[in-house]
Amino acid sequence: MSIHTRSNAELLAMLVGKRKANKLYRNTLASLFFAREGNDNYTKELAAAKELVTRSLNEELQQQDAFTAPAKVAEYLKLMLVGYEHEVFVTLFLDAQNRLIVAEELFRGTLTNTAVYPREVVKRALSLNAGNVIFAHNHPSGLATPSHADKALTETLKQALALVDVKVLDHLVIGDAAAVSFAESGWL
């Protein structure tokens, strides 16, 4: 039987064993791959599988124009951000050809907000010689609906970075099942 024709439960059993798979799997993969250490669904095997997928996407984004692969960027960011119980603000620093230099968690907040300092974002962009950036943050509520504060912050960051010729390509808000792109929504 081909690996592509196996069910999710069968593939999970290959990773963690049949007994553990039966205990963990409840007809959704999201709860497994987005589990954090200490969660009932967390296993080292699944964390390793998730890390390998994240690294694979990172490699792809380093080799190609990230802006022409928005679905991969969203998947990468979901793997990075879903499951936190607090807000996390991440910046993807890109070179002039929109290839990923590095993705960094710049700020960490509370359940409902994160303090983001434009000066620190500009400093880091300059230190990495970034030509472009993509911002992302999670909403621990699971809803990917951007707030007015999210939109205002994006505009402030865009203006600050424009002063040093760094372009903001997008800002994604990550929820449990979705990612909302400011660029695709016409807000950038």
Tokens 């679905």 sit at which residue? 71
Task: Summarize pLDDT for 89-134 with one digit per residue, the tens.
Answer: 999 999 999 888 999 999 999 988 889 999 999 999 999 999 999 9
Rounded CA-CA distance 32/134 in Å is 27
Rounded CA-CA distance 41/26 in Å is 10
pTM more than 0.85: no
DSSP secondary structure, 109-130, as one string: --SS-----HHHHHHHHHHTT-
Counting the structural domains of the chain, the total is 2
Domain hosting 38: range is 1-63
**Range from 12-16, 31-35, 130-134, 141-145 carrying the lowest mean pLDDT:** 31-35
Clarify whether residues 75 and 139 are in a common domain: yes
Which domain-ending residue is among 63, 78, 99? 63
Position 168 pLDDT exceeds 90: yes
Which domain-ending residue is among 63, 81, 112? 63
Clarify whether residues 55 and 88 are in a common domain: no
Position 63 pLDDT exceeds 80: no
